[in-house]
Amino acid sequence: MPGCALPGTPLADALPGINACVHCGFCLQACPTYLNLEDENDSPRGRIFLMRSLLEGTVRPDDPSVQQHIDQCLGCRACEPVCPSGVPYGQLLEATRATLRESRPTPFLARLILFVFARAWLLRPAMFFSRLLAATPIPTLLSGVKGRLGFAMAMLASTGRSIERSRYNAIGRGERGRAATLRGCVMDGLFSATNRATERVLTVNGYAIVDAPGQQCCGALHAHAGDLENARKLARRNIAAFEKSGAEFIAVNAAGCGAIMKEYGHLLKDDPEWRERASALGSRVRDVSELLAAAGPRTGGALPIRVTYDAPCHLQHAQRVTDAPLSVLAAIPGLELVPLHDSDQCCGSAGIYNLIEPDTSDAVLAPKLANIRDTRAPWVATGNPGCLMQIGAGLIRADIPARSIHPVDLLDASYAAFGQ
């Protein structure tokens, strides 16, 4: 492009991706924000056009409406699988957010959250506090309060509602290789039971669990918000930690984390020292459902419940993993899987989006809840903490008698039932 208005920015580097867009519009109907906000500025094609305009200089990075439309993107990447030209939208979005960050401050709430997540010493007490809070009746009491506080409380309340199961001893031969699990921050903080279940079901299915001390937050939230610097910092630490663990697979039970870790190579593409290592590590990252599906997975005891499945965007669009979670559920005898209408649509969670853009998030969530209600299933399985909490909170607040749950927890409960 002659006369690039933003030379040397991450966005300028992303120009080839922007140029791949031929403006065909096939992405419009795949975009949850376009369907809800009904303005092309809030569609992939429109946002790419804004990105191009930023580079052409026809709009300025400090233009508030440009910032608003870029902010309003969920980053669900539902546009990527429908794009015939293969526009790497997720990467373009990150590059844009990184570029815009330079010209304006990140909103205080987002900054605070990202600040905490980047620091293990702050994150742990924060999560501890959240966990303590979740164990009390307070979140449930406050979950009906209007606005963000109520929603946040409902999110916390939703984390304390997993399926009952007895203890069992997970025994396996480890014949499928060594796997280190990403503990994650939200998963570790609020879904630690799911993390333990993940280790148990992997063990049963022939993976030897190894420890990877020194691992950090994956950096996804930072990258999505355009804070590439901190995302890279976290990525480097994780690469080092997982390399040292000697694991053949890095098992991730949070779709958002898995997506970024698989793309560490892209994140560190300009870092000659880490580029190769990042790609190598990325190629060993698997969603837990992929590892389980590769092993069958083994059948457990009967769990006669009705379950519907909602596909996390970062699993189906970003990682293109669609069948594996279904085969996990299929391994549970007695489980009745009810199809969820528009299960491929985003739930509106999108990392910290539901806290930063509450209105759009609610609008995106509403049809999801209605569809869940229609299935009359008491359980909604989905493999990402953001989605678990977003859907879980929505169900509580809409008074729908259903709970969100990680597929791994269901498989774990099935194994527990077998043990009895």
Partner 1 sequence: MTPPSQLNASAVADRLAEIVGDRHVLSRQSELLVYNSDGLPGYRRQPRLAVFPGTRDEAIAVVRLLADEGLPFVPRGAGTGLSGGALADDIIVVGLHRLKEIISLDIDNRRATVESGVVNLRLNKYVAPYGLLYAPDPSSEAACTIGGNVAENAGGPHCLKYGVTLNHVLAMTVVLPSGEVVDLGSKSGEHDGYDLRGAFIGSEGCFGLALEITVKLTPRPQTVRTLLADFMSVDEAARVTSAIIASGIVPAALEFMDGPTIRVVESSIYAAGYPKDAEAILLIELDGLEAGVSADLEVVRQVCVEGGARNVKVARDDAERTKLWQGRKKAFGAMGRLAPHLIVQDAVIPRTRLSDILETIHAISEKYGVVVCNVFHAGDGNLHPNIAYSADDPDESERVHSAMVEIMRACIDAGGSITGEHGVGLDKIGYMEAIFSETSLNAMCALRSVFDPDRRANPGKVVPVHSCREWNAVASARGAASVREPMPLAAEPARPSARSRNLESDLWEDR
**Residues forming the site for partner 1 (CB under 8 A):** 1-2, 19-29, 37-41, 45-46, 49-50, 53, 58-59, 63, 65-66, 69, 81-87
Q: Which region, left, alpha or beta, applies to residue 143 given φ > 0 means left and ψ of -120 to 50 means alpha? A: alpha
CB of 90 to partner 1, least distance (A): 14
In this structure, the strands spanning 306-309 and 403-405 are unpaired
CB of 116 to partner 1, least distance (A): 33
30 or 331: whose CB is closer to partner 1? 30
CB of 27 to partner 1, least distance (A): 8
How far, in Å, CA of 183 to CA of 196, rounded? 9
Residue 36: how many CB atoms within 10 A of its CB? 22
13 or 63: whose CB is closer to partner 1? 63
104 or 111: whose CB is closer to partner 1? 104
Residue 142: how many CB atoms within 10 A of its CB? 17
84 or 296: whose CB is closer to partner 1? 84
85 or 136: whose CB is closer to partner 1? 85
CB of 4 to partner 1, least distance (A): 11
43 or 238: whose CB is closer to partner 1? 43
CB of 18 to partner 1, least distance (A): 9
308 or 360: whose CB is closer to partner 1? 360
Under 8 Å CB-to-CB from 342, ≥6 apart: which residues? Answer: 367, 368, 371
- Name the nearest CA neighbour of 310 among 347, 352, 257: 347
237 or 341: whose CB is closer to partner 1? 341
CB of 210 to partner 1, least distance (A): 35
70 or 201: whose CB is closer to partner 1? 70
35 or 208: whose CB is closer to partner 1? 35
CB of 330 to partner 1, least distance (A): 19
CB of 275 to partner 1, least distance (A): 24
CB of 262 to partner 1, least distance (A): 17
26 or 115: whose CB is closer to partner 1? 26
| Tokens describing residue 52 | 């191009």
Q: Which amino acid is at 153?
A: M
Q: What are phi and psi of 291, to 5 degrees?
A: -65, -40
Question: Between the CA atoms of 184, 188, 191 and 192, what dihedral angle is there, to the nearest 10 degrees?
Answer: 130
Q: What are phi and psi of 286, to 5 degrees?
A: -135, 145
Q: HSE (CB half, 13 Å, CA atoms) of 317?
A: 28
CB of 57 to partner 1, least distance (A): 9
CB of 110 to partner 1, least distance (A): 22
How far, in Å, CA of 204 to CA of 231, rounded? 33
